[in-house]
Chains A and B, each alone.
Chain A
Amino acid sequence: MTHSLYRTGSYDEVKDDFVVLIMPGKGINVEGSAAKMKQFLDIANRHAPADLGGWAIGHMYNSTLEDMKDKVIDRAASCSVVYDSKESLVEFLKEMKEADLGLSLVISGVDEIVKNDVCKELDIKPHTTNYSLGIMGKTEKLPQDERVLAVATMCGHGMVSYNLINQAVEEVRGGADPEQVAAKLAQPCSCAIFNVRRAVGLLKEMSRDTLE
């Protein structure tokens, strides 16, 4: 999930993009974690997720909540949820505090919003932070259109190719439903952290540009 750390975009573009991951510590609290992750999925699903699921269980664009829960096992490693509003995140966290599952919970988002707004409001004391220093090296190899990069980095493992995004833009320009096209882009993201709603906006914007 380090991969959610490097989502690109300006403050306004990422301020409402939150990824939450739940994970047991290997050799520490894995035993019994499956039931807790199922509880996580239930709670997360109640607050209008933009994506939900996890490794080996599928996600909300290729499975159902019940099917995903059926596939959760102790060694499932992690489950994730994406929210596109601070309000949803706050309501979700209130329930998670109440549930007190005892598994590690990580929030990826704009630092000042997560810490100064969300955590303070809920009296949560952050434990450890991973600070991104950005993308370096041969950056000239990256797509020139930063919006393509913004879509691609929503699957942190790089499974959504630049060419597939370019094709998606062309499909939207040709009249395809942006929601369906964005949901198709989410398919390769097996960790379920692809923010489909944000992708819809980016695809619409890029398809308009292409027309001009």
Chain B
Amino acid sequence: MRIDPDKCIACGNCLPYCPMAAIAMIGDIVVINEDECVECDCCFDFAGCPTAAIEKVDLAWPRILRNQFSNPVVPTVTSMTGRGSEEMKTNDVTNQFRAGFFGLGVELGRPGIGVRFDDVEKVTMALAPHINKFAAVNPVTELLEDRTTGKIRAEVLSEKVMSVLVEIIAPLEKLPALLQELAALKTKVNTVFCASLISRLDENGNSPVVEIARQWGFTPEIRTKTNIGMGKIPPGYRGEAHK
């Protein structure tokens, strides 16, 4: 994103729209801090610049990742929008998270702070030794140079984006070790992150992950997100997914 200085009248309307506070008035000129800009398009799409001075620029690799990980309507490499993953939203038809396993989602940079991929790598490398796999349909997984170590491609490490969702799936017995890694990461990353546990529910609507989390010092929030099982697999479907 850039601001055309010949068109800008320095009204300042665009300044509050930037989630990263990367737009500033310097003297009577409005400028975008390119290093802090995550290319979310908020200023372009919503600020209503009276002189159309805000301009999108063609983004080359790896800067284009900023746009894909920051504007939720821009498809990621998974061809999905948002943060590029279905995670548990369709688990009633994908069965990605099965009984005896759990999912851990770590979303870095949110709410409203942003994250660089060198911080993301701290998380992927901390989790990798303990897990079966990183989620397959996830744009962060696509950026891993080595899925066994969690190392991320070097050329993207300095890119800043709005937020990044790291997702893993592991057997239930791995949960305590992963929670310990999570606790240690709180002081290792230079941003905020949200974490969540995904679990298939038993016959009574309960999950073992809640008690395990409590045992290891984490208190699940009062709000949850629940797939209520209304999805159906079409007759004749021949894929791997099943209930």
Contact = CB atoms under 8 A, between A and B. Distances in A.
Interface stretch (B141-149, B152-160, B203-211): B203-211
A128 B16 contact: no
B230 A126 contact: no
Interface in B186-221: 186, 189-201, 205, 207, 209-210, 213, 218-221
Contacts of B107: 2, 6
A152 B42 CA distance: 14
B221 A167 contact: no
Nearest to A26: B86
A101 interface: yes
A130 interface: yes
Interface stretch (A63-71, A135-143, A175-183): A135-143
Contacts, number: 291
Interface residues of B, number: 81
Contacts of A27: 239
Given A28-B233, A127-B229, A158-B110, 8 more contacts: A2-B87, A102-B234, A105-B231, A110-B224, A114-B226, A130-B88, A158-B162, A191-B72
Contact of A2 (B105, B109, B229, B233): B105
Interface stretch (B2-10, B26-34, B60-68, B90-98): B90-98
Given A119-B205, A126-B201, A133 B46 contact: no
B43 to A, nearest CB: 10
Nearest to B109: A158
Nearest to A111: B224
A115 B205 contact: yes
A137 B110 contact: no
A78 B162 CA distance: 21
Contacts of A174: none
Given A6-B110, A128-B200, A161-B21, A11 B222 contact: yes
A134 B196 CA distance: 8
- Best-buried of A77, A126, A133 by chain B (most CB within 10 Å): A133
A163 B20 CA distance: 9
B112 A158 contact: yes
B223 A110 contact: yes
A89 to B, nearest CB: 11
Interface string A93-129: 0001100111111111111101100010000111111
Given A28-B94, A134-B194, A162-B112, A107 B228 contact: yes
B196 A2 contact: yes
B49 to A, nearest CB: 14
Contacts of A141: 113, 191-192
Contacts of B90: 23-26, 28, 104
A55 B72 contact: yes
Contacts of A143: 112
Contacts of B20: 161
Interface of A: 1-7, 11, 14, 21, 23-29, 31, 55-56, 77-78, 96-97, 100-112, 114-115, 119, 124-139, 141-143, 149, 152-153, 156-164, 166-167, 187-188, 190-191
Nearest to B199: A129
B221 A133 contact: yes
B223 A109 contact: yes
B231 A102 contact: yes
23 contacts: A1-B89, A5-B196, A6-B111, A11-B222, A25-B241, A29-B237, A55-B81, A77-B82, A100-B230, A102-B232, A103-B231, A106-B228, A111-B222, A114-B224, A126-B205, A128-B88, A130-B226, A134-B195, A134-B221, A137-B193, A152-B111, A158-B40, A161-B21
Given A106-B227, A135-B194, A161 B221 contact: no
- Best-buried of B113, B194, B220, B225 by chain A (most CB within 10 Å): B225
B82 A29 contact: no
B93 A28 contact: yes
A96 B213 contact: no
